[in-house]
Amino acid sequence: MANIQCQFYSETLGMSTNIQVMLPQHSALRASRDGKLPVLYLLHGLGADHTEWGRHSSIERLAEEKGIALVMPSVGRSYYTDMKKGAPYFTYLSEELPAVARSLFPLSERREDNFVAGISMGGYGAFKLGLSFPERYAAAASLSGGLDIVSRVNGPNSFLPFEVECIFGNIAELKGSENDLFVLASRLAASQQQPPHLYQCCGTGDFLYQDNLIFRNHAIAVGLTITYEEEPGEHEWGYWERKIKRVLDWLPL
């Protein structure tokens, strides 16, 4: 597995940014994709960065075994949004990052070869991408995701003082906005678009467990198909290490 630390200038963010890219050196999947690799975008949690997955999990070995490329961006504490008082990270993530990554590395552009997954804040980001752009992603996976963002900002949370308004703006307008996954799920279910495969898991001892149940129930109620799993576990890497292996086995490769 080639493990690449890549820094480039982002026109969207107006600054240099970092991604970690892992490319399998021997992948049988390339032969059927004109030399290109299927790719999983792996999103980090709140307070972390692009190195989190490589430092805390066995993702490099697991991806090599599957023959899949990994792209891990860094978005600060943006909660994968176009911040009201900050950088447009969601536009960067959804538009510029895939284009730059494909220009530099042998990554497939086909929907059926593009996937996204994340933990905690990154689980929210993964579902936001998948629900917003179902034509681009074949699968999206949330591990212990902060999926009920309205509940997060109005209840106990890990945001810094004044950070919520910088990210989301007027909190009273957050519910029903483009940052509300419940709205995105309902909109997609009512459309004629093919939804991505959705995978969601959360440990029963996780502080986000109830939020995950609420989102799962909503997704099912509006007509989305979702693979949901729960088991004893908390908000920590021992649990995510087990579940990311499950995600890679679940991906429609």
Within-domain flag for 252 = no
**Threshold 0.95, pTM exceeds:** yes
| Domain assignment of residue 47, given as a range | 2-247
Tens of pLDDT, residues 15-71: 999 999 999 998 989 888 989 999 999 999 999 999 999 999 999 999 999 999 999
Cβ atoms of residues 143 and 119 within 8 Å = yes
Within-domain flag for 224 = yes
Q: What is the pLDDT along the chain (253 residues), one digit of tens a residue?
A: 999 999 999 999 999 999 999 999 989 898 889 899 999 999 999 999 999 999 999 999 999 999 999 999 999 999 999 999 999 999 999 999 999 999 999 999 999 999 999 999 999 999 999 999 999 999 999 999 999 999 989 887 888 888 999 999 999 999 999 999 999 999 999 999 999 999 999 999 999 999 999 999 999 999 999 999 999 999 999 999 999 999 999 999 9
State the burial class of residue 155 (Cβ atoms within 10 Å of its Cβ: 0-12, 13-18, 19+). exposed
Number of domains in the chain: 1
Within-domain flag for 194 = yes
CATH number of the domain residue 30 falls in: 3.40.50.1820
Within-domain flag for 24 = yes
Question: Tokens 């059926």 identify what position?
Answer: 112
Within-domain flag for 219 = yes
